[in-house]
Amino acid sequence: MEIRTVGVIGAGQMGNGIAHVFALAGYQVLLNDISPDALSKAIAVIERNLDRQVTREKISQEDKTAAMGRIDTTTTLTDLGPLDLIIEAATERETVKTAIFEDLQPHLRPETILTSNTSSISITRLASRTDRPEKFMGLHFMNPVPVMQLVELIRGIATDEATYKTMLGVVESLGKTAASAEDFPAFIVNRILMPMINEAVYTLYEGVGNVRSIDESMKLGANHPMGPLELADFIGLDTCLAIMNVLHDGLADTKYRPCPLLTKYVEAGWLGRKTSRGFYDYRGDTPVPTR
């Protein structure tokens, strides 16, 4: 089917980025969140990021104005029912995602495609809780969405070929590259990335190096653009822990055991940039390591 209208559920960091790229690509977007304040902040972030693209001559002022004109917001989930494509980008908790799809289901058109931006949860299991597992896929964008080129496309066991091909075309229309992944815990990127971050936390936990030496070693010794602990703060330590738990539970291998120090930071509410403290303290002019 042809996709013209897109609903994005969740106006956080991922949701506003997804709305941004779809609106810029010519889709009509309806952004949903339970919080009016979150929606207002999301629109401000989208406008600021579009302005940055204009300044860098990636897009024109006309492109920006047209994109902003294609985005509407709503706090009512059922308003998304008539749309062609739904992208769930809510909190990385399966109970939350399942409840969203169950509430939305009675209001959907039969041909509407459902997708989740989950970074690790089973697509097959999420799809099985809906009335259309054949029209359900994982659509995992990388953060920050307007900048990162990759989108993981994950088929559940019941996803049909027509849905897959439609979503492949959608990703291409955004100017991004799709990587097809099988429905195993954490898919491709996080299956490889999160154990590396977790091992960096173990390296800190065991006193092999401090925060700064670990990050500098990987930036200068492995040519990574960002150190693993800095990256963990950017992603969110709660998200990192959730993905490690999915890997550990789903694959039953001790190599995926979350580091106790990562758990302790999350218990303290030190979740990284979004709470101003994680492996670095962001409350001053420059980030300061917390260990």
Q: Residue 59 belongs to a domain with what CATH number?
A: 3.40.50.720
Q: What is the pLDDT of residue 120?
A: 86
pLDDT in tens, 209-236: 999 999 999 999 999 999 999 999 999 9
Does 152 participate in catalysis according to the annotation? yes
> Is the same domain home to 161 and 200?
no
> Is the same domain home to 96 and 127?
yes
Positions in the chain whose pLDDT score sits under 70: none
Please tell me which residue in 32, 152, 198, 230 is annotated as part of the active site.
152
> Is the same domain home to 122 and 217?
no
CATH number, domain with residue 284: 1.10.1040.10
**Is 119 marked as binding a ligand?**
yes
> Is the same domain home to 201 and 257?
yes
Give bridge partners of residue 7 from the DSSP assignment: 30, 86
> Is the same domain home to 153 and 221?
no
> Is the same domain home to 127 and 27?
yes
Please tell me which residue in 119, 120, 122, 198 is annotated as part of the active site.
119
**Is 60 marked as binding a ligand?**
no
Domain boundary residue among 153, 182, 211?
Answer: 182
Please tell me which residue in 16, 49, 117, 140 is annotated as part of the active site.
140
**Is 222 marked as binding a ligand?**
no
**Is 17 marked as binding a ligand?**
no
Domain boundary residue among 157, 182, 207?
Answer: 182
pLDDT in tens, 175-185: 999 999 999 99
**Is 12 marked as binding a ligand?**
yes
> Is the same domain home to 195 and 271?
yes
Q: What is the pLDDT of residue 80?
A: 98
> Is the same domain home to 168 and 75?
yes
List the one residue out of 96, 116, 119, 100 whose CA is nearest residue 235. 119
Q: What is the DSSP code (8-state) at residue 259?
A: P
> Is the same domain home to 10 and 31?
yes
Amino acid at 35: S
Q: What range defines the domain where residue 30 resides? A: 5-182
> Is the same domain home to 254 and 176?
no
Stated as kind and residue range, the H or E segment containing 152 is strand 150-155
List the one residue out of 280, 284, 152, 277 whose CA is nearest residue 227. 280
> Is the same domain home to 117 and 201?
no
Please tell me which residue in 16, 120, 122, 190 is annotated as part of the active site.
190
List the one residue out of 225, 231, 197, 230 whose CA is nearest residue 212. 230
Q: Name every residue whose Cβ is closer than 8 Å to that of residue 153 and which is 6 or more positions away in sequence.
A: 137, 138, 139, 140, 164, 167, 168, 171, 178, 179, 180, 181
**Is 97 marked as binding a ligand?**
yes
Domain boundary residue among 182, 212, 242?
Answer: 182
Does 119 participate in catalysis according to the annotation? yes
**Is 11 marked as binding a ligand?**
yes
> Is the same domain home to 267 and 172?
no
Q: How many domains does the chain have?
A: 2
Q: What is the pLDDT of residue 274?
A: 93
Q: Name every residue whose Cβ is closer than 8 Å to that of residue 255 and which is 6 or more positions away in sequence.
A: 195
**Is 41 marked as binding a ligand?**
no
